[in-house]
Structure 1
Amino acid sequence: MNKSLYDKLSKVCKKESPADLIFRDAHIFDAYTASFYDGDVAVKQGYIAGIGKDFPGDTVIDCKGKYLFPGFIDAHAHLEAALVPPNEVISAAAACGTTSFIVTPHEVWTVAGKEGIDYLLKQSEKSPANVFLMLPYCISPSLSEGHEAKFSSTDFFSFLKNPRILGLEELMDTRGVIHSNPVLWKTADGAESKFPGGYSSFLSLDSEACSLMKLQTGQIPKDFSYTLDEVHAGMHIHIKEDSAVHKLETSIQGILSKGIDSRSFSFCTDGKKVGDILREGHINHLIRRAISLGLPVGKAYQMASINAAECYHLSHLGVIAPGKQADLVLLSDPKKVDIEAVFHKGKRVEKKEKYPLPHCPKELKKTLHFPPLEEEDFHLPIFKQNSTVIGIQEGEIRSSRLQVNFRRSNNFDPLENPDYRKIASISRNNGRKRMCVAICSGYPIRQGAVASSLSRDCDGILVIGDSDRDMCLAANELLRTQGGVSVVSQGTVLFSLALPIMGLLTECGHEKAEEQLRLVKEKLHEMGIGTAMDPLLPLAFLSSPSIPEIRITPRGMYVIKGAQSRLLKQ
């Protein structure tokens, strides 16, 4: 805070000049103590000038019988998972009380590099919320070869000078931590003044080694006992609840059953679609659910505000106190989280029916560069007695490695093996064909194929099907649309959701995109995928280098165990 601003706030605090806005007779939530007290809150130039009584000012909001909370913080978000430009997601969530976002643009970085990060920064510059970015350290080295959209060291460290870049996040090379990878340490040392973010819980059980490197955040894994190990090692845990992965109930039950302090936990949505936000809410939805599961009201609101603010050293956010930014949420019922109004920097956040679409650089609309594919590219000879199969598990992002005996042939035919399908990972870069074809189970699509460019932590596209012809057509359809999801059956493209911005985002708005997505999923269910499974979930995660037990990338299949990944010979 500079002296000029301090002088203005001080005069309001001393009641020598009028406030811009006064919240009168509010039940104020004290995030420091998780308790409430009554008073007026005076705001000047987007900051809280004072708390007390009888502040002068013309604009007054009567808060009698209502509750005033600090704006909510999404502690870990992948905005691109919503499939729409960032401002559309941020605006929808801000109307639900989320006034700060900690964004990890892993997929944007993977496919578009520096230009992608610049796009996110510019797109969110005038959004009705604070949007901070965490740069990814790197993805697992063995799986990252072939990615063209990498930062140079100059790009990387120049971004760290931006005040909206808080630090580094999602370190997936925990083997590099344990074995003191010099490149990794050079990156960490160069960013020492910034926040040393977290890593993937799937990759290593050595949370102490990660803590020694000062990594400070993690995400809730499947086993809460491992979460306790992370907390014991001094790490801060993000509790995830998004459109696909639901960990909140397990997490809250673990906190309550163990009787532990919740200050080491914060809420995050990871990746939530706009339709889900409009239907059930954002961080406010997590607060509501946590309270319904038995978490004390004050603890739930701490997890939505001060916990994340302190974790990321955002001292001006997360609390209602003099000198803090006036990001405020007015509620009529704290348990139901009924929102009356939201304020960002002292300005009311208005709900919007339509969201403006800022300009997108043309180079970000052409990120798929592989040549048109032929049916023969999907041929898979079976020469060995035992073949490795990727086992897809319903409702899980993990996979299992299976060994199955198939008849030797020049080309594996799923029609002769009805419990198995072909899966292919195709590099979008290089302008040449680089792909891996393998066998999977647990995804019983019939008479067709599906292709998607929505691969987490990988720049490839994934295709699953029971016909080489349909798999080829589905992949080439993505090349035509420059990304998205395509469904093909018996030589015909049935549905195509175009995501031309980096192969991740649409230009048609969330309503049309989510309606097309609904139709895609309905058709995939009709084609044999069980209704208990999100049919696009495996396509999103089967290339991710952080999730066991077996992954497929354009370079081949990898077995992931602990902190190690190993390329399989085919």
Structure 2
Amino acid sequence: MYTDLPTWPASASKLVATAAGREPADLVIKGGTWVNVHTRETLKNYDIAIREGRFAYCGPDASHCIGEHTEIIYADGRYILPGLCDGHMHIESGMLTVSRFAQAVIPHGTTSMFVDPHEVANVLGMAGVKHMHDEALAQPINVFVQMPSCAPSAPGLETTGAELGPDDVAEAMTWPNIIGLGEMMNFPGVVNGDPKMLAEIAATQMANKTVGGHYASPDLGPNFHAYAAGGPADDHEGTCEADAIARVRQGMRSMMRLGSAWYDVETQITAVTEKGLDPRNFILCTDDSHSGTLVNDGHMNRVVRHAIECGCDPLIALQMATINTATHFGLERELGSITPGRRADVILSSDLKTLPIEQVIARGKTIALNGENTVDSTAYNWPANTRGTVKLGKTLTATDFAINAPDGANTATARVIGVVENQAPTKALTAELAVTDGIVQGDETKDVCQIALVERHRATGDVTNGFVSGFNYTGDMAMASTVAHDSHHMIVVGTSRENMALAANRLGEVGGGICVFKYGKERAMVELPIAGLMSDQPAPDVAAAADQMVAAMADCGCTLNNAYMQHSLLALVVIPELRISDLGLVDVTKFEMTPLFVDP
């Protein structure tokens, strides 16, 4: 395990002595361009001195801090930037454990992450959260954990593998690495004054920690104001400029996300670039990034570059990924800037706009150089009871995926979940579908195929069936995944009931993951044995399997960008408009169950 960084009080005398020149620094970075995110300046030919993992001196000449054993890095005019912070994310979406995720993002300059493990909480409960908490503490970068607020995310609309409540939240607030409450997804509960939701928020605020928000509705009327009054301090579900403006006007931080499938920065950052709002109330984040994105495209460096491409001043974009995030979580005196006393998390880069990550330093130690890790993240032994969590209760057959037509009907008008490319919300569609031998059929010409949710926590053998549009699948195929936010049952989408049964049973055999079947043969498999959500294999290996999965989906006709992420959210019953759960079809505009078929 990595040694804990000394606190500022424990290091203060040494930091002062180094800054004064009485004692030598451990490391000095000489001759760089200091990016000061407090003043939004770039200061040429400055030196940075580091002692015991913290910044001691930031000024024009650190020669007085150099001793016989001081390590010197010559920046040669390159930019000296604070390490990047991800203000809202889910480790599990990377399909990786914490240590493997850290290995993947360190070369991209991420040195602080604020993670909400509500995926593993829905499967393993408090034990799963504690495992994530403990693994996070062992990493060479800062991984702060938010206590999940909603398991289930929408009580009465889904059944999860575990449930959490106010007492669990209060207990977690005593753990050393809990930074606050994870996103409060049950926004109708807050709006309606649900005692359980308000008690969780109260327990967090009593601990002087930050309450994460999740207001996934376009309604900015009284319901939005009621949610803001309920205490959430931020929100990442905005999709347009009006959303961003509304949030910051109510004293919330607007978190703008660029994940693998969410492209919500460009449509909101105009609140700063065109409307001129104070940028210190805006934060960049990823929310959900799968392993392929992390390995091939980047992490927070990708988000910052994208914000700059959208017209944001590079220094403002960097503030949104460093000091703004630290301030929001009450850590401005601890991280997020290159200033005395803070954790020595540093990036060296030769260009502010394209942001090549040439060297990464965390807590005063070089941890990545030219895209390669120079230290190992500490692995964690996830126990046996966190594996083998896929419990189907029986061997599934094509009959389990048959959708019976209304009595005597020759055709049926069905409600259809409509996937929206690059966004989390879905559309509530309808389609007139044919009936053969009493069974309602999908329609390839209308881009309507079947979707099923297979219960996998309690071995009930239950299957909920419906229809989905937007994937453009053709031929006899099926895709199954035990990553199904947030209840994390198994989602199966397909054009062939036989292939759907094959895919579901296969995931039961391997203990969880994602697979694609076509014409009765397995075309791709990503094994995720830990809670059916994560792998403890290296990120490049998982990314390679994920790339094969994406290629198999394309071979089945799918043209949707990052279609896997859309697939994994089809059971997310807190984001409008239409979703599926183990209890049936959910109208998320009304937060109530709705029939599959429309009455004639």
Q: TM-score range by the shorter chain?
A: over 0.9
8 A Cα contact 1:47 1:346, kept in partner: yes
Q: Distance in 1 between matches of 2:308 and 2:350?
A: 16
Matched, 1:509 2:543: no
- For residues 122-160 of structure 1, the C-alpha deviation after alignment (integer angstroms, 9 at most, x for no partner) is 333332210001122214434554213223654432221
DSSP-derived class of the 1:131 partner? strand
- How far the C-alpha of 1:290 sits from its partner, in A, is 2.5
One-letter code aligned to 1:119: H
DSSP-derived class of the 2:108 partner? coil
- The answer to which of 161-170 and 503-512 deviates more is 503-512
Q: Distance in 2 between matches of 1:357 and 1:36?
A: 38
1:91 aligned to which of 70, 92, 103: 103
1:401 aligned to which of 414, 425, 428: 428
8 A Cα contact 1:435 1:555, kept in partner: no
How many pairs align?
Answer: 567
Q: Distance in 2 between matches of 1:278 and 1:389?
A: 34
Q: Distance in 2 between matches of 1:321 and 1:357?
A: 31
One-letter code aligned to 1:20: D
Q: Give the equivalent residue in structure 2 for 1:520.
A: 549
- How far the C-alpha of 1:467 sits from its partner, in A, is 2.3
Q: Give the equivalent residue in structure 1 for 2:302.
A: 285
Alignment of 1:59-78 (within 5 A): 59-78=71-90
- For residues 287-306 of structure 1, the C-alpha deviation after alignment (integer angstroms, 9 at most, x for no partner) is 23323333222212111210
8 A Cα contact 2:100 2:536, kept in partner: no
Would the alpha carbon gap of residues 402 and 62 (structure 1) be closer, same or farther in structure 2, given more than 3 Å must change?
Answer: closer
- How far the C-alpha of 1:204 sits from its partner, in A, is 5.1
Alignment of 1:412-423 (within 5 A): 412-414=440-442, 419-423=447-451
8 A Cα contact 2:35 2:80, kept in partner: yes
- How far the C-alpha of 1:170 sits from its partner, in A, is 1.4
**Unaligned 5+ runs, structure 2:** 1-6
DSSP-derived class of the 1:536 partner? helix
Would the alpha carbon gap of residues 556 and 2 (structure 1) be closer, same or farther in structure 2, given more than 3 Å must change?
Answer: same
DSSP-derived class of the 1:523 partner? helix
Q: Distance in 2 between matches of 1:213 and 1:394?
A: 31
Would the alpha carbon gap of residues 341 and 490 (structure 1) be closer, same or farther in structure 2, given more than 3 Å must change?
Answer: closer
8 A Cα contact 1:550 1:559, kept in partner: yes
One-letter code aligned to 2:178: I
Would the alpha carbon gap of residues 355 and 310 (structure 1) be closer, same or farther in structure 2, given more than 3 Å must change?
Answer: closer
Q: Distance in 2 between matches of 1:356 and 1:346?
A: 18
Matched, 1:202 2:217: yes
Would the alpha carbon gap of residues 15 and 232 (structure 1) be closer, same or farther in structure 2, given more than 3 Å must change?
Answer: same
Alignment of 1:469-548 (within 5 A): 469-529=498-558, 531-548=559-576
Q: Distance in 2 between matches of 1:318 and 1:490?
A: 52
8 A Cα contact 2:261 2:566, kept in partner: no
1:453 aligned to which of 458, 467, 482: 482
Q: Give the equivalent residue in structure 2 for 1:336.
A: 354
One-letter code aligned to 1:197: G
- How far the C-alpha of 1:275 sits from its partner, in A, is 4.1
DSSP-derived class of the 1:543 partner? coil
- The answer to which of 488-497 and 193-202 deviates more is 488-497
- How far the C-alpha of 1:232 sits from its partner, in A, is 1.0
- For residues 371-410 of structure 1, the C-alpha deviation after alignment (integer angstroms, 9 at most, x for no partner) is 1223322221111654322233444433222334445653
One-letter code aligned to 2:199: K
- For residues 420-468 of structure 1, the C-alpha deviation after alignment (integer angstroms, 9 at most, x for no partner) is 3221111211121232111233334321211111212122111122222
Would the alpha carbon gap of residues 224 and 272 (structure 1) be closer, same or farther in structure 2, given more than 3 Å must change?
Answer: same
8 A Cα contact 1:207 1:233, kept in partner: no
- The answer to which of 85-94 and 304-313 deviates more is 85-94
Q: Give the equivalent residue in structure 2 for 1:132.
A: 144
- How far the C-alpha of 1:3 sits from its partner, in A, is 4.5
Q: Give the equivalent residue in structure 1 for 2:19.
A: 13
One-letter code aligned to 1:379: A
1:42 aligned to which of 46, 49, 58: 49
Q: Distance in 1 between matches of 2:548 and 2:291?
A: 17
8 A Cα contact 1:170 1:200, kept in partner: no
Q: Distance in 1 between matches of 2:445 and 2:533?
A: 33
Q: Distance in 1 between matches of 2:34 and 2:289?
A: 29
8 A Cα contact 2:240 2:264, kept in partner: no
1:432 aligned to which of 448, 460, 468: 460
1:119 aligned to which of 109, 125, 131: 131
Task: Kindly report the root-mean-square deviation, in angstroms, between the aligned alpha carbons of the 2 structures.
Answer: 2.4
One-letter code aligned to 1:157: A
DSSP-derived class of the 1:248 partner? coil
Q: Give the equivalent residue in structure 1 for 2:4.
A: none
Would the alpha carbon gap of residues 474 and 227 (structure 1) be closer, same or farther in structure 2, given more than 3 Å must change?
Answer: same
DSSP-derived class of the 1:439 partner? strand
Q: Give the equivalent residue in structure 2 for 1:168.
A: 181
Would the alpha carbon gap of residues 220 and 97 (structure 1) be closer, same or farther in structure 2, given more than 3 Å must change?
Answer: same
- How far the C-alpha of 1:558 sits from its partner, in A, is 0.5
One-letter code aligned to 2:402: H
Q: Distance in 1 between matches of 2:124 and 2:350?
A: 44
Q: Distance in 1 between matches of 2:413 and 2:29?
A: 70
- For residues 276-331 of structure 1, the C-alpha deviation after alignment (integer angstroms, 9 at most, x for no partner) is 33433322222233233332222121112101011111121111222111112222
Q: Give the equivalent residue in structure 1 for 2:267.
A: 250
Q: Give the equivalent residue in structure 1 for 2:3.
A: none
Q: Give the equivalent residue in structure 1 for 2:340.
A: 322
Would the alpha carbon gap of residues 324 and 509 (structure 1) be closer, same or farther in structure 2, given more than 3 Å must change?
Answer: closer
8 A Cα contact 2:484 2:569, kept in partner: yes
8 A Cα contact 2:138 2:378, kept in partner: no
One-letter code aligned to 2:49: A
One-letter code aligned to 2:467: I
One-letter code aligned to 1:306: I
Q: Distance in 2 between matches of 1:416 and 1:186?
A: 48
One-letter code aligned to 2:523: L
**Unaligned 5+ runs, structure 1:** none
Q: Distance in 2 between matches of 1:320 and 1:216?
A: 25
Q: Distance in 2 between matches of 1:425 and 1:357?
A: 33
One-letter code aligned to 2:316: K
Q: Distance in 2 between matches of 1:233 and 1:191?
A: 20
Q: Give the equivalent residue in structure 1 for 2:392.
A: 370
